[in-house]
Amino acid sequence: MHLKKLFALILLLFTLQLVAMAKPEALRVEPAFWWAGMASPDLQLMLHGPDIGNLKPELQHEGIVVKDVIKVSNPNYLFLNIDISKASAGKFRLQLKDGNRVVHKYTYELKERKAGSSQRQGFDNSDVIYLITPDRFANGNPKNDNVKSMAEKANRSDKSGRHGGDLEGIIQHLDYLKDMGFTALWVNPVLENNQQNTSYHGYSTTDYYKVDPRFGDNAQYVALSEKADERGIKLIMDMIPNHIGSEHWWMDDLPTEDWLNYQDNYKQTNHRREAIQDPHAAAYDRNLHTQGWFVESMPDLNQENELLAQYLIQNAIWWIEYANLGGIRVDTYSYSYPPFMTEWTRRIMEEYPNFNIVGEEWSLNPAIVAYWQRGKKNPNGYTSYLPSLMDFPVQNALVAALRDDETGWDTGWLHLYAMLANDFQYADPGNLVVFPDNHDMDRIYTQLNQDAALTKLALTYILTTRGIPQLYYGTEILMHNDAPGDHGIIRTDFPGGWEGDKINAFTGQRLTEEQRQMQEFTKKLLNWRKNTEAVQTGKLTHYAPYKGVYAYFRVQGDQKVMVILNKNEKPYDLALDKFAAQLNGKTKGVDAITGKTYQLDKKALALPPKAPLVLELQ
């Protein structure tokens, strides 16, 4: 009897093994779901599974029309182009058949769109953006620091390793952002980065539809967006259409022979961004810029492949709709294939006419930056639909202005004055994002040689000039990097974000007096800016700097603001006669920072040393 039971058990195990072996691997479908009622009637589905290329797809849903079934060189892929223009929301069955035998089944869903989704308002001049590197901001859930399926583990002592910050940490401190006065949140990439090392920064995507589990999951990202929205904060997603990580799941099974640039022969980009616009540039240099890889761990995507191009466009729209985004920041904008970026932005703006997208074009030449903005008439005929760009020229000029002395005819503040004069090159200079620093450069306090007074002047300018301001996390408490250029140090942990931190910037615990003053200064200026339309959208008129003083006005209707930035180490008497046209009967100004009233009906105004004045004119 015992042998019979043993034989039966062996037979059962053998049978189960055969069943398991016969069961097909799960079918991957991307995007996993979509929405009815989108502006574009077309939807492309990427199907991935073993040897599915010769299977016949069937879709059963009223209103859906299969336009094309596309087979590629890799038999593990199928692409379906379907028309959903007449389809209503609901679930339907997708089957892959071998003759009459069903090999794969998948329940696809067209979801109902949220009311007003297409008319969502993207970030704009009324906002101030707070930039966070999520791994370095706050660790809200230590349990997800290490995930078995993820290659790199947490090591807070490694400046280039993962420290454990996550989405839950950001959610837990949204009230801090709100109280400070921030109204938009740009989070460095949070999608899966299953790289062997230096995965914390997020710029080597290994799955375009999945949040990295060490940050949380897709549902938690949606929760971040919802909870931020409850506090009047828009969520901006950092997207990377140019390249992926070398551990992306595609790399084990590339869909086509031209999915990547230099797919079989790695070449690094030459970083010659200006070659795109240069009328004298060799085609070799232009092509190597856009087709070359950043580094060997970041394969460059070939966006001339129409299937890949559609995949990337749909992925961006999917995240906007799914996570209720208030904006997109595009990494390495000019490194992508230019015609593709035209279509990428056009399609997004077609779906969401009031949305905003800011591109990174790290050039100090405003003519190079202006080339990519929507509405710019370019000599070579290139058309862009990108609304906004990061204003690297102004950032660089601001630092030069503050670090340089005022002894020459073109030194000091004149760097900034002259750079702003280039605004005639932009189609919409008011829609540029201005910033003192970001995650890829030395912190502004470091750039200004840890001079708190100069840092206040820098922040005052950023928060009162034209454009949309962005501050990097920790700028408000004078975070700095002692090792210039070291990204791991630049992206230092925000104090108070980890249990056991002795210094807590969220509560003010153990901040130095100088740090507390800067935090309070920033908070006052941010919250004042929220309700001051003149510095959001008002006309800017600036006066040529003189003897270390730079002054400009922001005017919107009857509201006038006069900003005076004094670099002098001593008090300075500013003659007021040249401002008569702008003052125009205004006899006093109330400083938004200190609340002090200054009389403007005198010959001169006594300026405090090395300090800003932000005067609401009355």
CA within 13 Å, CB half, 221 = 28
CA distance 36 to 64: 11
CA-wise closest residue to 64 among 43, 42, 86: 86
Cβ atoms 171, 224 nearer than 8 A: yes
What is the maximum alpha-carbon separation in the chain? 113
DSSP 8-state assignment for residue 88:
P
Per annotation, catalytic residue among 135, 145, 331, 391: 331
Q: Rounded to the nearest 5°, which phi and psi values hold at 455?
A: -65, -40
Paired strand residues for 70: 79
pLDDT for res 10:
55
Place of tokens 């022979």: 257
Annotated catalytic, 229? no
How does DSSP assign 106-164, residue by residue?
A: EEEEEEPPPTTGGGPPPP-TT--EEEE-GGGT--S-GGGSS-TTSSPPB-TT-TTSB--
Q: Report the share of the chain in percent with pLDDT over 90.
A: 94
Cβ atoms 132, 238 nearer than 8 A: no
The predicted-structure confidence for 40-74, as pLDDT tens digits, reads as follows 999 999 999 999 999 999 988 889 999 999 999 99
* Cα–chain center distance at 517: 29
The predicted-structure confidence for 404-452, as pLDDT tens digits, reads as follows 999 989 999 999 999 999 999 999 999 999 999 999 999 999 999 999 9
CA distance 328 to 561: 31
CA distance 241 to 317: 13
pLDDT for res 60:
81
Q: For 308-341, what is the HEC assignment?
A: HHHHHHHHHHHHHHHHCCCEEEECCHHHCCHHHH
Helix (H) or strand (E) holding 526: helix 513-530
Domains 128-241+326-535 and 540-617 share a fold: no
Least confident of 12-16, 394-398, 481-485: 12-16
CA distance 163 to 137: 9
CATH 3.20.20.60 fits 540-617, yes or no: no
Domain boundaries, the chain: 28-113, 128-241+326-535, 540-617
Paired strand residues for 604: 575
CATH class of 128-241+326-535: alpha beta
pLDDT for res 62:
86
Burial class (CB in 10 A: 0-12, 13-18, 19+), 536: buried
- As a dihedral over the C-alpha atoms of residue 346, residue 347, residue 349, residue 352, rounded to 10 degrees, the angle is 170
pLDDT for res 13:
52
CA distance 471 to 83: 43
CA within 13 Å, CB half, 339 = 8
Per annotation, catalytic residue among 192, 360, 423, 493: 360
CATH 2.60.40.10 fits 28-113, yes or no: yes
Give the CA distances from residue 295 to residues 267, 268, 276, 287, in Å, rounded to whole numbers and listed in that order.
9, 6, 20, 16
Distant-in-sequence, close-in-space partners of 279: CB < 8 Å, separation ≥ 6: 379, 380
CA distance 444 to 437: 6
Paired strand residues for 236: 186, 327
Q: What is the average pLDDT across 267-291?
A: 97
Paired strand residues for 328: 237, 357
CA-wise closest residue to 455 among 436, 483, 434, 433: 436
CA-wise closest residue to 267 among 291, 250, 285: 291
* Cα–chain center distance at 600: 42
Annotated catalytic, 533? no
The predicted-structure confidence for 469-518, as pLDDT tens digits, reads as follows 999 999 999 999 999 999 999 999 999 999 999 999 999 999 999 999 99
